[in-house]
């Protein structure tokens, strides 16, 4: 009981700061995307492939979350997009205060799109609002068909699910249609996008179009 | 600060119950294995493939942890080994109390080996002692070469790391030797075992031999 109350207090505090973040983003006309998924689901690889196209139209900044290493921020910077790395030192998710600390250091007038890549985890990040406008959960086909049913909170609290590594489905006995059925069984409203590597190139057009549409609709 | 104190109190409580579990297991001569890893890393598949061999020599019981579904316990029972499913309803890890509740229902005199498959998560389960004798962290090659560096706590607090889906390494540009180097960079003492599917069959002999050796040494 005490544990539940403590958890509730932390969530309430997080939600308060997330609201402050959201107000700040709105004031500066910044669209914010929160990307979540298991370790190795393909979050950073997706970003590496969509950023060069998106950066032609938008001024982008990326916040990377990990327990340790600067690896992902370095990978992002190689695409030409600026990025900062948050090391959570043990915490299994980013929280609104970590984001607030970072945005206080940024020139918000120079950003149109802020992308936050959360810590690799299909559970913890889901219940922490960071002040984002859109959520994407990345699920890779080698994780297995039944993962949408086994991690329902991740499916429920997202706008879109990006199925990655669809080219590997054939090697791991995973049927993509079954995975989609399970996603919609948990959340009929979730949009499902697919990403795979074919002939050496990542097919990411669906994700790029979806994001540009969402940002255009939000701008009004 | 309050957050850190709350966390410490919960950990202390967990450690107290884990000690009670461990005493109970020792009293009944039960060897306990705690298996951890990301969603879809191959934990249940590994069990499906080692249990038929181990069950010829040992009386085994499996406790499965997941946020939702009975899927994994059902998969285990199909191998002929008895299993029970704990649904954590949101919690990203099993804790010592959940295990205590289950073992209070079991006939401990009829078990030689208790295997606990934790919730799919490379972060949270690591810091919760359940009363086990041995830990295995499962890491699949499609998760990417750099994951040992990005999730150091999982590498540090385990006896062995099982690299799974080694047959997929060639499709995902992952060098198994690099992954091994990174594991030993974080934890030089971690034993590394490999599991892959070759010609339609899972090669799991290394894991079976390792477990049988560990159990024999523990029996003395």
Per-residue pLDDT reduced to its tens digit, A162-214? 999 999 999 999 999 999 999 999 999 999 999 999 998 999 999 999 999 99
Asked whether the predicted pLDDT for residue B9 surpasses 90, the reply is no
What does the pLDDT read at residue B1? Answer: 39
Residues of B in contact with A171 (CB under 8 A): 167-168, 171
Residues of A in contact with B151 (CB under 8 A): 39, 67-68, 120
Does the CB of B22 have a partner CB in chain A at under 8 Å?
A: no
Residues 6+ apart with CB under 8 A from A59: A110, A111, A112, A113
Element (H, E) at B193: strand B191-194
Quick one: pLDDT band at residue A4, thresholds 50, 70, 90? low
As its CATH architecture, domain A2-219 has 3-Layer(aba) Sandwich (3.40)
Shortest Cα–Cα distance, A36 to chain B (Å): 13
Asked whether the predicted pLDDT for residue A84 surpasses 60, the reply is yes
Does the CB of B171 have a partner CB in chain A at under 8 Å?
A: yes
Asked whether the predicted pLDDT for residue B199 surpasses 50, the reply is yes
CA distance A150 to A162: 17
Cα angle, residue B136 at apex, residues B104 and A149 outer, rounded to 5°: 70
Beta bridge pairs of residue A31: A113
Report the pLDDT averaged over residues A95-122.
97
What does the pLDDT read at residue A10? Answer: 85
Quick one: pLDDT band at residue B4, thresholds 50, 70, 90? low
Mean pLDDT, chain B, whole residue set:
95
Contact A168 B92 (CB under 8 A): no
Residues 6+ apart with CB under 8 A from A111: A28, A30, A59, A60, A61
**Domain boundaries of chain A, sorted by first residue:** 2-219
Report the pLDDT averaged over residues B121-129.
96
Contact B150 A71 (CB under 8 A): yes
Residue of chain A nearest B199, judged by CA positions: A171
Quick one: pLDDT band at residue B8, thresholds 50, 70, 90? confident
Asked whether the predicted pLDDT for residue A1 surpasses 50, the reply is no
Does the CB of A3 have a partner CB in chain B at under 8 Å?
A: yes
Contact A92 B121 (CB under 8 A): yes
Residue A171 in contact with residue A140, Cβ under 8 Å? Answer: no
A13 or B3: whose pLDDT is higher?
A13
Stated pTM of the model: 0.94
Residue of chain B nearest A168, judged by CA positions: B171
**pLDDT digits 0-9 by tens, A17-71:** 999 999 999 999 999 999 999 999 999 999 999 999 999 999 999 999 999 999 9
| Mutation target among B39, B43, B196 for the A interface, most CBs of A within 10 A | B39
Contact A150 B67 (CB under 8 A): yes
Residues of A in contact with B149 (CB under 8 A): 68-69, 71
Asked whether the predicted pLDDT for residue A2 surpasses 70, the reply is no
What does the pLDDT read at residue A220? Answer: 87
Cα angle, residue B175 at apex, residues A65 and A161 outer, rounded to 5°: 40
Q: How many CB pairs under 8 A join A and B?
A: 118
Mean pLDDT, chain A, whole residue set:
95
What does the pLDDT read at residue B6? Answer: 60
CB-nearest partner of B152 from A68, A71, A140: A68
B89 or A18: whose pLDDT is higher?
A18
Q: What percent of chain B has pLDDT over 70?
A: 97
Contact B167 A171 (CB under 8 A): yes
Residues of B in contact with A146 (CB under 8 A): 69, 71
What does the pLDDT read at residue A8? Answer: 78
CB-nearest partner of A39 from B92, B151, B171: B151
Tokens representing B97? Answer: 């109390």
Q: DSSP code of A30?
A: -
CB-nearest partner of A6 from B6, B142, B151: B6
CB-nearest partner of A147 from B6, B40, B167: B40
What does the pLDDT read at residue A89? Answer: 84
Residues of B in contact with A90 (CB under 8 A): 123, 127, 153
Does the CB of B75 have a partner CB in chain A at under 8 Å?
A: no
What does the pLDDT read at residue B133? Answer: 98
Residue B60 in contact with residue B79, Cβ under 8 Å? Answer: no
Residue B136 in contact with residue B174, Cβ under 8 Å? Answer: no
CA distance A66 to A90: 9
């Amino acid at each position: 009981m005490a544990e539940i109350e403590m958890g509730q207090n932390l969530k309430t505090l997080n939600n308060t700061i997330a609201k402050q973040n959201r107000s700040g983003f709105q004031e500066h006309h910044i669209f914010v995307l929160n990307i979540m998924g298991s370790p190795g689901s393909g979050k950073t690889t997706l970003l590496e492939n969509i950023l060069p196209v998106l950066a032609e139209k938008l001024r982008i900044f990326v916040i990377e979350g990990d327990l340790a290493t600067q690896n992902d921020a370095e990978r992002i910077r190689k695409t030409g997009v600026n990025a900062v790395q948050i090391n959570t030192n043990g915490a299994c998710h980013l929280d609104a205060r970590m984001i607030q600390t970072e945005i206080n250091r940024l020139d918000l007038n120079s950003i149109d799109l802020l992308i936050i890549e959360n810590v690799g985890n299909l559970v913890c990040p889901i219940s922490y609002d960071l002040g984002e406008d859109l959520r994407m959960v990345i699920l890779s086909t080698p994780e297995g068909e039944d993962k949408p049913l086994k991690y329902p909170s991740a499916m429920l609290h997202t706008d879109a699910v990006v199925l990655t590594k669809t080219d590997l489905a054939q090697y791991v006995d995973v049927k993509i249609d079954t995975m989609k059925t399970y996603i919609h069984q948990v959340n009929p409203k979730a949009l499902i996008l697919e990403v795979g590597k074919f002939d050496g190139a990542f097919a990411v057009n669906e994700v790029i179009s979806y994001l540009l549409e969402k940002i255009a609709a939000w701008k009004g």
